[in-house]
């Protein structure tokens, strides 16, 4: 905090920027995962359970194998398995995906807490840090520029997803499936397969997001580690109007808002810490109220999501 002192208000800004980059990473992955899922016409409300499962798996595998990268892969794999389970259940006739999502939260967090109990190791091997600020003398700025590789990967995934939606056959088919499943079926597109694949990959991304929670500073496993970030996925995607690039921007914004709380506290303003933490939710709600209307559907919403009550 000495650096903040030496830089004054600028120090706070740097701290916020650094916090925004760090704090945005889980949001980036859950929102991109949710975006992919919703493009196919399904909602995954269970991202919280998958995020926790990813966090625990990454920690456990990293701790046992000594390789954080193996932990990362395991988190993605387990996330994908959960996605496959959810997709399989919601493809059954008559199953409500809101209820199935909440069941996934309970199941995922239950399994994560169950197996997590054994991992009392204070810290598992961490992912390396990419240092973009080498040679910068100011410690605060330098700290803010020490970036997790998952941040870089997240940006790459966002652009890749954007490319996939706009420029590949698979992306075009997926958008058609989410927009008009019957029409897609009549064109011979395998609707179910697309939805299952999208949900599975989306959940695998959330698993990676979870690994950031335990494989990056402070890098410990605890049951309260996600702080409900997985539940925000759905709201983020709405905020971003179903665009991967806007998901990226929205995640940075929400990460920044989250970083604002501790920064303000470190600057001695702590009166509205919790309200500040909740401000992204409030902001999303206000934006939704402003942009929705009874006669107009949200721009960019996949048709099969818009058509249910």
Partner 1 sequence: MTSEQNFEGVAIPVIAIGTALLLFSLFCAGVGASPGGVLASIYTAGFGSWYAWQNSLLRAAPLMLCGLATALPAQAGVITVGNEGAFVVGGLAAAAAGLATTSGPPLLCLAAMFLAGAVVGGAWIMLAAGLQYYRGVNAVISSLLLNYIGIALLLQLVEGPMRDPDSLNFPATFPLPLSHQLGRIPGTRIHYGLVFGVVACLLGWFLLERTVWGMKLKIAGGNARAAKLVGLPLGRIVLTAGFLGGACAGLAGMVEVAAIHGRASQAISAGYGYVGILVAFLSRQSPLRILVVSLILGAVLASGGSLQRTHDLPDATINVFEGLAFLSILASEALAGRLGFLTALFKPVSTEVADAKL
Partner 2 sequence: MHGPARVEAICIGKTFGPVRALEGVNLTVPSGTFHAIVGENGAGKSTLAKCLLGFYRPDEGEVRLDGVPVSTPAEARRAGLGMVFQHFTLAPSLTVAENLVLARTDLPAILNWKKEKERLRTFLEHAPFQINLEDRVEHLAAGQKQKVEILKQLYLETRVLILDEPTSVLTPAEADEVMTVLNALVRKEALSVILITHKLREVMAFADDVTVLRRGRWVASCSVGSTSIPEISSLMVGNAPLREQSARTDMTAGGAVLEIQNLSVLGDHGLPAVKDLSLTLKAGEILGIAGVSGNGQRELVQAIGGQRDIASGEVRVAGKPFHGTRADIRECGVFTLPEEPLQNATVPGMSVAQNIALRTFDQAPTAKLGFLLDRGAIRRAATAAVERFSIRTPSIDTPIRNLSGGNVQRAVLARDLGARPPKIMVVANPCFGLDFAATGFVHNQLVELRNGGGSVLLVSEDLDELMKIADRIVVMSDGRIAHESTRAELDLAVVGRYMGGHE
Q: Single out the segment in contact with partner 1 by CB under 8 A; choices: 96-104, 142-150, 154-162, 246-254.
A: 96-104
Pick one of partner 1, partner 2, none as the site partner of residue 184 (Cβ within 5 to 8 A by kind): partner 2
Contact at 8 Å (CB) between 54 and 226? no
Q: Which residue in 108, 181, 219, 255 binds partner 1 (CB under 8 A)? A: 108
Shortest Å, Cβ 172 to partner 1 = 26
Smaller CB separation from partner 1, 82 or 165: 82
Q: What is the helix (H) or strand (E) element at residue 217, kind and residue range?
A: none
* 146 DSSP assignment: E
Say whether residue 106 binds partner 1 (CB under 8 A): yes
Q: Using the rule CB under 8 A, give the single segment among 65-73, 99-107, 142-150, 214-222 that binds partner 1.
A: 99-107
Closest separation in Å from C-beta 168 to partner 2: 6
Task: Closer to partner 2 by CB, 16 or 174: give it.
Answer: 174
Under the binding rule (CB under 8 A), the answer on residue 98 touching partner 1 is yes
Cα–Cα dist 63/60, whole Å: 5
Cα–Cα distance, 99 to 105 (Å, whole number): 10
32 binds, among partner 1, partner 2, none (CB under 5 to 8 A by kind): none
Stretch that binds partner 1, among 2-10, 135-143, 161-169, 294-302 (CB under 8 A): 294-302
**Which residues, at least 6 apart from 95, have a Cβ–Cβ distance to it below 8 Å?**
89
Helix 149-167 / helix 191-215 crossing angle, nearest 10 deg:
170
Residue with tokens 């989306």: 202
Alpha-carbon distance of 104 to 100, in angstroms, equals 6
């Amino acid at each position: 905090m000495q650096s903040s002192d030496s830089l004054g208000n600028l120090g706070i800004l740097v701290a916020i920027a650094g916090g925004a980059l760090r704090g945005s990473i889980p949001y980036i992955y859950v929102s991109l995962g949710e975006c992919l899922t919703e493009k196919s016409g399904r909602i995954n409300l269970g991202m919280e359970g998958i995020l926790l499962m990813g966090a625990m798996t990454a920690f456990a595998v990293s701790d046992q194998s000594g390789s954080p990268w193996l932990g990362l892969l395991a988190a993605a794999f387990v996330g994908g398995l959960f996605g496959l389970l959810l997709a399989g259940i919601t493809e059954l006739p008559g199953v409500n995906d809101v209820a199935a999502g909440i069941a996934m939260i309970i199941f995922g967090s239950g399994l994560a807490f169950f197996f997590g109990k054994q991992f009392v190791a204070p810290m598992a091997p961490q992912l390396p840090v990419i240092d973009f600020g080498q040679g910068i003398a100011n410690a605060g700025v330098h700290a803010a520029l020490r970036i997790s590789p998952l941040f870089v990967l997240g940006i790459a995934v966002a652009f890749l997803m954007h490319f996939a939606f706009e420029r590949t056959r698979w992306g075009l088919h997926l958008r058609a499936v989410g927009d008009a499943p019957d029409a897609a079926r009549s064109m011979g597109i395998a609707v179910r397969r697309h939805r299952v694949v999208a949900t599975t990959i989306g959940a695998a991304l959330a698993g990676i997001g979870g690994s950031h929670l335990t494989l990056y500073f402070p890098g410990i496993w605890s049951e309260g580690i996600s702080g409900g970030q997985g539940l925000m996925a759905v709201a983020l995607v709405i905020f971003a109007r179903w665009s991967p690039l806007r998901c990226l921007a929205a995640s940075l914004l929400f990460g920044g808002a989250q970083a604002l709380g501790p920064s303000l506290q470190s600057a001695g303003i702590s009166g509205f810490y919790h309200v500040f933490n909740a401000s992204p939710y409030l902001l999303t709600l206000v934006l939704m109220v402003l942009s929705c209307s009874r006669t107009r559907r949200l721009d960019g919403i996949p048709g099969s999501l818009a058509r249910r009550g």
